[in-house]
Amino acid sequence: MCGFAGFLDPRHTVSREVLEATSSDMAAELVHRGPDDAGSWADAEAGVALAHRRLSIIDLSAAGHQPMISSDGRYVMVYNGELYNFEDVRKQLEREGLATGWRGHSDTEVLLAAISAWGLTTSLQRFIGMFSFALWDRKERELILARDRLGEKPLYYGNFGGCLIFASELKAFRKHPAWNGTIDRDSLALMVRFSCLPHHHSIFKGVNKVLPGMVARFSAPGSRPVGAPETEFFWNLESIAYGGAQEPFMGGDSEAVTQLDRLIRNSVRRQMVSDVPFGAFLSGGIDSSMIVAAMQAESSRPVKTFTIGFNESSYDEAANAREISRHFGTEHTELYVTPREAMAVIPKLPRIYDEPFADSSQIPTFLVSQLAHEQVTVSLSGDGGDELFAGYNRHVWGKNILAHSSRVPSPIVRAGGRLLAAVPTRAWDRVYGIAEPLLPAKLRMRIPGEKLHKLSRLLAAENRENFYLDLVSDWDNPAELVIGSHGLQGPGLQAPSLLDRQDFTLQMLYLDTVTYLPDDILVKVDRAAMAVSLESRLPFLDHELVAFAWSLPLSMKIRGGIGKWVLRQALSRYVPPKLFERPKMGFGIPIDSWLRGPLRGWAEELISVKRLNDEGYFNPAPIRKKWDEHMSGAKNWQHHLWDILMFQSWLEANR
């Protein structure tokens, strides 16, 4: 895991030393991503510069130094990530007589050799791993940016006055003299809707993300400015979903469970290859428990596992993780975090995330990463399991809610929604607490009041697209909130035509995987882990495992009103179900009560009417209305308020 930065500006003729110095200054902002080594390379005639910061994981020697030049001298690369099958690729190149005289044992060298031998697209399709990279083709005078299939590793680019700037994180852009960062108000509106910056958007005008599975090519035509890229996708989920529909899994339940177990173990085995210590995040939930089960099955020594706990019982999973750890005999470390310790992370968030990001589980994710880094350099996690195997409540209930509400006259549905919303969330929580012992397992949940208020909004949805948009939105009309925005609903919120006539749940799974997963979950994990120089690996996102999941019938994912059926069956081969069959908790913190208590003064200052008016980004009225309702306890607006507070905090840190 590393970080890189660079630029392409063929118009300006400055010395190689100046180009290297500028790119090195950019990469120095990414030292947290690569504290072990630094390097730069430039070609003054072409106006291109590449710089790298290295976190040494495979081949710790100087032979893994970057930027790296291919053995034939054609390509220069800076690379962030891991190729889990690099040894297999290396052997195949040797068998075909296409690579000899290796300098070391790094996956970067193998990646370059494969591209030289097979070409870029063929090589990308053969790689198994997580990565982003910049590749300068000296023969074609072309800069190539590429990103892995699911979007685990970040890569931003922007064209400023004909100069192309690119980097693993936005903070590196600030060190380039052409940088001119202007806040994009349409992107801000999307951020307060989704709690993150979706799709290609960033908070700055003119800055985009290389999308998952994308290759972007920039030509350097003599002394002319760099133009827009030519883009192509070497992998996309739509083709995988189509393939799964055309050739579905035809075996029985037992065969599906066996196949899933095999694929997970294969993925975990590959991702346990490391020249540095590794471990795993363990929450005690199904996904992380399955990863730890596979790790321990593949290891002759106890796996190191890490979890954090909270004294607030509604948010604490540490006891569950402890039981799973005891069962497997892992070397377990847990830390109970006080509100003071958790809140001490908040001032660091603008620097960690570089742009406004408002998934509040960013705080425990940073804390568990920090805990793990005290003992290991690599940690595996269970992220991605929900999207593949229907783990969110909406996957189980969404279709039925939409179907039932469409059968009832809309005035009655809206009246029912208003009734649900009229009862304060804390009152619903008390009622639910009394009834919970009598409820079946599939109806048990955390923060029921908040979920019922969410349901009240969903009941008014007119179609599938609006229903899903309501499901994943916080502020449902951000154009009225963000001054000067145009009310974009956000890209990528329509499933491809092949899913139009299929089950609505499949559409939600697809949209979650191409939007929520890369834009929220993977951003959260990457930035939190890399902030402490910890490499995070996600075995569920192995593309062969993803393809298998999409070949399974929905009945193997949701059965008896409970999601992740096939994954639960696989885990039950290692763990008694009583240790993991419990309501889904998520990975949250009690932001709702903290805003009414220890965070109140901090929040009040950031969203005062005077401050909001002076800054000119938000209309204060809807924010203050939600703030007053939250303070009174009538409503729980923690997510909406956190969206605003994270932007305000970021804005303050970047004045």
For tokens 């290692």, the residue is 574
Which is it for the CA torsion 255, 258, 263, 264, positive or negative? positive
pLDDT tens per residue, range 539-596 = 999 999 999 999 999 999 999 989 999 999 999 999 999 888 876 655 668 899 899 9
Residue type, 442: K
For tokens 């920090």, the residue is 370
Residue 405 has a pLDDT of 60
**How many helices (DSSP H) and strands (DSSP E) are in the chain?**
28, 17
Number of C-beta neighbours around residue 456 at 10 A = 17
Between 465-474, 487-496, 498-507, the lowest mean confidence (pLDDT) is in 487-496
pLDDT of 429 over the 90 cut: no
Q: For the domain 238-389+512-579, what is the CATH code?
A: 3.40.50.620
How far is the C-alpha of 263 from the C-alpha of 257, rounded, in Å? 10
Q: Tell me the average pLDDT of the chain.
A: 89
Vertex 147 angle, CA 512 and 221, to 5°: 135
How far is the C-alpha of 255 from the C-alpha of 269, rounded, in Å? 21
Calculate the alpha carbon distances from 22 to 18, 29, 240, 299, 569 in Å: 6, 12, 41, 45, 54
Residue 478 burial (C-beta neighbours within 10 Å; 0-12, 13-18, 19+): buried
Residue 206 burial (C-beta neighbours within 10 Å; 0-12, 13-18, 19+): middle
pLDDT tens per residue, range 285-301 = 999 999 999 999 999 89
Calculate the alpha carbon distances from 515 to 76, 495, 509, 536 in Å: 32, 11, 10, 20
Which is it for the CA torsion 276, 281, 286, 289, positive or negative? positive
How far is the C-alpha of 514 from the C-alpha of 518, rounded, in Å? 7
Query: Mind spelling out the 3-state secondary structure of 499-539?
Result: HCCCCHHHHHHHHHHHHHHHHHHHHHHHHHHHCCCCEEECH
For tokens 């290389």, the residue is 210
How far is the C-alpha of 204 from the C-alpha of 435, rounded, in Å? 48
Q: Are 233 and 150 in contact (CB under 8 A)?
A: no
pLDDT of 449 over the 70 cut: no
Average of per-residue pLDDT across 77-104: 92
Phi, psi of 4 (to 5 degrees): -145, 165
How far is the C-alpha of 495 from the C-alpha of 215, rounded, in Å? 22
Q: DSSP code of 472? A: H
**What's the longest Cα–Cα distance across the chain?**
75
Burial 347-386 (b: 16+ CB within 10 A, else e): eebbebbbbbbbbbbbbbbbbbbbbbbeebbbbbbbbbbb
From edge to edge, which strands make up the β-sheet containing 207-209? 37-43, 48-54, 2-8, 163-167, 156-160, 207-209
Classified as helix, coil or strand, 220 is coil
Average of per-residue pLDDT across 610-617: 97
Average of per-residue pLDDT across 622-646: 94
pLDDT tens per residue, range 17-69 = 999 999 999 999 999 999 999 999 999 999 999 999 998 777 677 778 999 99
Residue 414 has a pLDDT of 57
Number of C-beta neighbours around residue 466 at 10 A = 17
Calculate the alpha carbon distances from 77 to 58, 114, 596 in Å: 17, 13, 50
Confidence of residue 423 (pLDDT cuts 50, 70, 90): low
H/E element holding 157?
A: strand 156-160
Residue 633 has a pLDDT of 87
- Strand 48-54 and strand 2-8: the pairing is antiparallel
H/E element holding 263?
A: helix 253-271
How far is the C-alpha of 283 from the C-alpha of 319, rounded, in Å? 9
Calculate the alpha carbon distances from 373 to 220, 227, 276, 281, 347 in Å: 41, 41, 12, 11, 20
Residue 55 has a pLDDT of 85
As beta bridge partners, residue 6 has 50, 166
Calculate the alpha carbon distances from 284 to 122, 320, 578, 584, 654 in Å: 39, 5, 12, 10, 38
Q: DSSP code of 225? A: P
Classified as helix, coil or strand, 540 is helix
Average of per-residue pLDDT across 606-628: 97
Classified as helix, coil or strand, 271 is helix
How far is the C-alpha of 573 from the C-alpha of 328, rounded, in Å? 12
From edge to edge, which strands make up the β-sheet containing 129-137? 68-69, 75-83, 129-137, 142-147, 214-219, 230-233
pLDDT of 447 over the 90 cut: no
pLDDT of 443 over the 60 cut: no
pLDDT of 477 over the 90 cut: no
pLDDT of 533 over the 90 cut: yes
pLDDT tens per residue, range 176-191 = 999 999 999 999 999 9
Bond preceding residue 67 cis, omega within 30 of 0 = yes
Which is nearest to 145 in space by CA: 7, 352, 1?
7
H/E element holding 194?
A: helix 185-194
Fold of 2-235: Glutamine Phosphoribosylpyrophosphate, subunit 1, domain 1 (3.60.20)
Residue 462 has a pLDDT of 66
Between 319-333, 495-509, 624-638, the lowest mean confidence (pLDDT) is in 495-509
Within 8 A by CB and 6+ apart from 34, the residues are 1, 2, 3, 27, 52, 53, 54, 55, 533
Q: DSSP code of 333? A: E
As beta bridge partners, residue 305 has 280, 332
The structural domains of the chain, with segments of one domain joined by +, span 2-235, 238-389+512-579, 590-655
Number of C-beta neighbours around residue 431 at 10 A = 14
